[in-house]
A and B are shown apart, each in its own frame.
Chain A
Amino acid sequence: MVRKLLKSLYDICSSRRLAVGLMVYAAFLVFVATIAQTQIGIEAAKSKFFESFFCLAEFSAVKVPLVGGATVGALAVVNLLASGWRYARGGVYGFGMSIAHMALVLLILSGALQYFMRSEGSVMLTEGAESDTVALRNGAKIKIPFKIKLVKFDAEYWSGSSTPKLFEQTRIPARRLGSPENRRNELARLVRRLDVLPNVVCGQRENERAVGGAQPRAAAAVARSRGDVLRNGSDVPAANVRGKRRRQ
């Protein structure tokens, strides 16, 4: 009896109908979420529809309960693994097919991992200003255990037009250092980088002890300025900061 039940469960999990159903449903969910984005914003829609197991789609007065993105992702991983086990074939074709499908598993799992381990935010900096406060995308503000300084920001324009051609910035990398003071000195080291894309990159790797234990651990942070802020004529480029979520 149990064996039969397990067998039918395996059949359902590995079924290609489930795969197609999940894909069509996921496309539908993404559509609903995109429409919701116009009303509640990109961030709110993201946490409501994609980072939940179940959600409630609201179209003015009509409310429809939906299965959330997390459930779809989990089911997709189960389905991909089970059907991979069931239908895997040998040869170049079969191998390629397995690689392609397992890559999707990796993609979904890394998305989940990112959800738990990373937070994203931005820092607004004028030229010469420094800050250690990062505004997360959900609006919360966190302090990072080092400061980011925008030393120089140049925008080059196409001759005779207001279209920017190149954003050039000076980035400051922070290295593994003994004391906060040394770190500040190191921060002052300038590295110029010319790139088509605007970059302010600050990397930091250190353990808790080095910062005295009281400071939370920040493993790595990458800040990148967003060129589009400049379009509005402001000289305040924003920087995106990625790092591990702080553990208190």
Chain B
Amino acid sequence: MKNKFAFSSALMLALAAAFLPACAWFAFTADPLYDSPFSPSLGTLPAMKGGRVMPVSSAAADVLKSLGGSVKARTSGGKISASKWLWQLSADSRKFSGEKLLRTDNRELQKILGANGRYFSYDDLANNYEKVADAANGGDSKLAKAAQAALERGMEYALASNTFAQKTPDENSAAKQIRDWQAALSAASAEIADAKKDGREPDRKKLAPADAIFKYLKNADAFETAYPDRVVNAVKTDSAFATPTHTMLERGSPELSRKHAEIYAEICDALAANDVPAARAALEKARTLLQSAGGINRTRLFVETFSNIFEPFTGGFILYAAALVFFGFAGLIASRADALKTMGGVFAAGAVALHIAGIALRMYIQMRPPVTNLYSSIVFTGAVAAAIGAGIYFSRKYVSAVVAACAAGAASLVVAMNLPYSGDTMGMMRAVLNSNFWLTAHVSTIMVGYCGIFLAGFIAQARLVANLFSRENFGAATGAVSRTVFALLGFALLFTFAGTMLGGIWADMSWGRFWGWDPKENGALMTVLWTAAAVHLKAARLCSDRFFLGFAVLGNIVAAWAWFGVNLLGIGMHSYGFTDGGWIWLGAFVASQLAVFPLCFLKFRGTGNAKK
């Protein structure tokens, strides 16, 4: 190999970059008691949220994300991990009530809450409860919606504080609470039995302690039942999971659940007293209990914890960005171009590998095909585009292909990471979508098609922009790129057409009609028509290579419209995903593509033999 040194050093650098998120994690946030992929920790214990069994660390991150949009808790004592936050909150519900962890984007509400920028604390909400509740009743206004959302976040925060143990407000020890409740319960039932035997009314004084705790628990349980998707069910039952409140209240709670709740209460008490050895001992008890109970896939829990810490998509983004930098410098520094291209190639290959590995981990954790929601559709399409683009580069050495690939991969990861709130929650699929066969056959097929369109569009765009700066005749290069773009669009046409038809069959089975001119169906039809038109233009030689590339760039707009635009319309059966601020981003993207399109009319005016 010519650039052995460049290759090996790039390999080492790429590996280091891939492990950067994990290293940062271990250096700044990790606390072995709460999060550790290699030893038993509180974050790797199983819990169930939204119907899925996941490690406590994922469930806690989900809660934090919906409270404030971040997966780590920013406290006055520094950033702490989600699982540490959730356990400590359960141990002492007042510990974080002054920390500004909840978020609202509404300026008026921020003023009402006295928020620090976008963030406010649970105390802010509790102190201004009347005002916020008034605002929430203000009909359909933006402030009312924001106030309702803030109240919901407060509710979710309150629910989170009871995740591992339930205590009445004047009780400090969770374990003592369970013992008191059991004692009060047996005293009350003994009194009722005695009264029945003697034929007298039971003594209300003897029933009072049980009654007081019962009312409190009943209230809390009603609250939890009303918001099943927000609750983290941490206590194992025979067949699923339940909350500690439910376990205490349920008369026929299985032995397993009661023991489990007691151990969690012990852990909470130990954490509240800052007694790490006691917490570790109780953790060991919990692990033994769960192991003997069985029914939990521990490999999957481990994989999910590992993927939370490893963050393959963040690593992938860093590698894509680095690859782009190397290829950029390769264009600028001619004398070192070969070495820089080798390094860029290594980084691009590493980025694609990491990106695909991340998707594979998701698929294993969820046991689903790669595309299940808007987030995963973006990540998946980016990966396929990057893989194809990198493949073209390694076989044909088209730098524009690898640049487009890295840009597409990086852009997909950025967009996915910034989808507000919804993000990567890996929720369960609802009834109509609960079909791995159709998710693969329709959704993944369509997405592969879209990725073909985008990759073709970006490669065409890279060539058209390069033509602008070219000092030589670019006719031959344009011709070569247009053949690649043609092949990609043919590939895209096959997949979008097949995906659309399969979608029709699925729609016929679930909605009773093959085609209903739903906006999403319209979008799919538009991409098929546009791609077909482009393929015919080139196949029948109806236009110049340059115009064909311009046409492919416009295809990006059509595909973006079909993918995101129609969701923004908010009508039809496919309106899911984001709506806030989406128009601005879509508008910016369309504008950028329209700005590139005129470059297809640029002719080479210098000397030389232009092909066209």
Contact = CB atoms under 8 A, between A and B. Distances in A.
Given A42-B571, A42-B572, 14 more contacts: A19-B536, A20-B540, A24-B530, A26-B529, A27-B526, A31-B561, A34-B523, A159-B240, A160-B50, A160-B228, A164-B430, A198-B510, A227-B510, A231-B430
Interface string B527-565: 001101100110010100000000000000010010000
A159 B48 contact: yes
Given A160-B51, A228-B573, A240 B566 contact: no
A167 B519 contact: no
Contacts of B428: 158, 161, 163, 165
Interface of B: 48-52, 228-229, 231, 233, 239-242, 427-432, 434-435, 509-513, 515-519, 522-523, 525-526, 529-530, 532-533, 536-537, 540, 542, 558, 561, 566, 569-573
A188 interface: no
23 contacts: A20-B536, A37-B517, A37-B572, A38-B570, A42-B519, A45-B517, A111-B515, A158-B50, A158-B51, A158-B428, A159-B48, A159-B51, A159-B241, A160-B48, A160-B241, A161-B50, A163-B51, A163-B430, A165-B51, A165-B434, A166-B431, A227-B432, A240-B513
B542 A20 contact: yes
Contacts of B510: 197-198, 224, 227
A106 B78 CA distance: 66
A163 B229 contact: yes
Contacts of B48: 159-160
Nearest to B541: A16
A24 B427 contact: no
A162 interface: yes
A239 B532 CA distance: 36
For the complex of A and B, the 5 pairs showing the least CB-CB separation, nearest first, are: A158-B51, A240-B512, A161-B51, A23-B533, A224-B512
A246 B515 CA distance: 21
Contacts of B228: 160-162
Nearest to A156: B431
Contacts of B573: 228
A222 B512 contact: yes
Contacts of A158: 50-52, 428
A160 B227 CA distance: 10
A197 B571 contact: no
A186 to B, nearest CB: 23
Interface string A119-152: 0100000000000000000000000000000000
A165 B429 CA distance: 7
B571 A37 contact: yes
Nearest to A111: B515
A226 to B, nearest CB: 6
A160 B533 CA distance: 49
A46 B511 contact: no
A196 interface: yes
B50 A46 contact: no
B551 to A, nearest CB: 9
Interface of A: 16-17, 19-20, 23-24, 26-27, 30-31, 33-34, 37-38, 42, 45-46, 50, 111, 120, 155, 157-167, 196-198, 222-224, 226-228, 231, 239-242
Contact of A197 (B49, B509, B561): B509
B537 A34 contact: no
A19 B532 CA distance: 10
A196 B526 contact: no
Give the most central of B228, B229, B432: most A CB within 10 Å. B432
A226 B511 contact: yes
Contacts of B233: 160
A120 B533 contact: no
Contact of B529 (A24, A155, A222): A24
A16 B526 contact: no
A34 B566 contact: yes
A46 B517 CA distance: 7
A98 to B, nearest CB: 15
B592 to A, nearest CB: 19
A42 B529 contact: no
Given A27-B533, A159-B51, A197-B432, A226 B512 contact: yes
B509 A37 contact: no
A23 B535 CA distance: 11
B526 A31 contact: yes
Contacts of A223: 512
A197 B434 CA distance: 8
B432 A166 contact: no
A20 B548 CA distance: 12
Contacts of B569: 34, 37-38
Contacts of A38: 569-571
Nearest to A23: B533
Given A37-B519, A155-B431, A165-B428, A160 B511 contact: no
A33 B517 contact: yes
Nearest to A46: B517
B522 A30 contact: yes
Nearest to A168: B431
B522 A33 contact: yes
B152 to A, nearest CB: 14
Contacts of A165: 51, 428, 430-431, 434
Contacts of B533: 20, 23-24, 27
B229 A20 contact: no
B530 A16 contact: no
A219 to B, nearest CB: 17
A131 to B, nearest CB: 16
A165 to B, nearest CB: 6
Nearest to B436: A196
Given A162-B229, A222-B512, A226-B512, A23 B530 contact: yes
B530 A198 contact: no
Contacts of B509: 197
A167 B431 contact: yes
A60 B395 CA distance: 53
B431 A161 contact: no
Contacts of A155: 431
A37 B229 CA distance: 33
B590 to A, nearest CB: 12
B409 to A, nearest CB: 28
Nearest to B435: A196
Given A20-B533, A23-B530, A227-B431, A242 B566 contact: no
Contacts of A222: 512
Contacts of B430: 163-165, 227, 231
